[in-house]
Amino acid sequence: MDLFVLGMPRSGTSFICSQFSQHNFDFLCDQESIDHLFPQELNPQGYFQRLDLLQLMSSLKLENFDKVYSESTAIENALTEIIQKSVTFKKNNPSKKIALKDPYLLFVFPILIKANMKFTTTKPTIVIVKRDWEKIINSMKKFAKFFKTEISITEEIINNYYNLAENFCIILQLPYHFINLN
């Protein structure tokens, strides 16, 4: 993988991915997209999110980090399989740069990097999309209203997400960039 895009749900990661896709980055690698799962009026340019990755992340039901690390081998195997599909795609499309996006990748980030290192010694660039916490919450409320669900997110949760993302990048010595969408 050349690039991982992280950010809270409704932070603007899909918009950033649409910009990267115009510069030869491929987020789907011929895999099925989640675009058909959600109304396009919520993300008119698409979600740039792979269905196989969404299914994996949804199956984990990530309430806390304890579950991630108790199931780390199974998660690593699943992520390795997803990355392998991308590597195969890149071999057949050498001009493409390969990228992966999912808001919940942060929960499995060290495992993801370990799986990625099975295929390359090149460190991927990490893009962390930031947006004002009030704008994220308002967008989540709009999304939740559309699906008739509740949201329970706070400024503290959002700030902790961004701090954790940055700390993982520092600890793992990965190149990273914040993109602020305010």
> Candidates 1.10.287, 1.10.3470, 3.40.50, 1.10.10; correct CATH number of 3-180?
3.40.50
Give every strand in the sheet of 25-26, ordered side by side. Answer: 25-26, 97-101, 3-7, 125-130, 176-180
With 60 as the cut, is the pLDDT of residue 64 above it? no
Confidence of residue 180 (pLDDT cuts 50, 70, 90): very high
Confidence of residue 63 (pLDDT cuts 50, 70, 90): low
By percentage, how much of the chain surpasses pLDDT 90?
31
What is the tens place of the pLDDT at every residue in 99-147? Answer: 999 888 888 888 889 899 999 888 899 999 999 989 988 888 887 777 6
Confidence of residue 47 (pLDDT cuts 50, 70, 90): confident
Dist CA 180 CA 182 (whole Å): 6
How is residue 123 annotated by DSSP? P
With 90 as the cut, is the pLDDT of residue 59 above it? no
**Residue 23 or residue 69, greater confidence:** 23
Dist CA 165 CA 179 (whole Å): 13
pTM reported for the whole predicted model: 0.86
With 90 as the cut, is the pLDDT of residue 58 above it? no
Q: In the numeric block, which tokens belong to residue 18?
A: 């649409």
